[in-house]
Amino acid sequence: MHIKSILIVIPALFALSACSWVELNEAGEKVRVLSEDEVSKCEYKGKSTVSVTDKVVGVRRHDEAIQQELLTLARNGAQNLDGDTVVPIGEESEGKRSFKVFRCVPR
């Protein structure tokens, strides 16, 4: 019986590690993700660091799910700095990543 439980739990953990739990909000839908080269004429508004859970019960989540959630959180939060564009800075580390926030479209 113990082995059956393990055989059920392990695949469930891997399935959960691929799940995305962060939803793009209405404000975030209007925020673009661009490269540093594409924002040369934009107004810099600040820096935002976002984080997500990178492990579920000690198992590393899929990188794609982590990256997507970080982008979604950065886009959702850009409005707090009056931004409409985010630019990723560096790489994700332990579920954290920083983004520069810009205003590219005049109000």
CB-CB contact of 95 with 73 (8 Å): no
Rounded to whole angstroms, the Cα distance separating 68 from 32 reads 14
The model's pTM:
0.76
Domain limits for position 94: 2-103
pLDDT in tens, 47-80: 999 998 877 777 778 888 888 999 999 999 999 9
Whichever domain contains 95, its CATH number is 3.30.110
Does the pLDDT of residue 27 top 60, yes or no?
A: yes
The band of 4, judged by pLDDT with boundaries at 50, 70 and 90, is low
The pLDDT of residue 69: 94
10: Cβ contacts below 8 Å, ≥ 6 apart: none
Fill in the amino acid letter for 5.
Answer: S
Structural domain total, the chain: 1
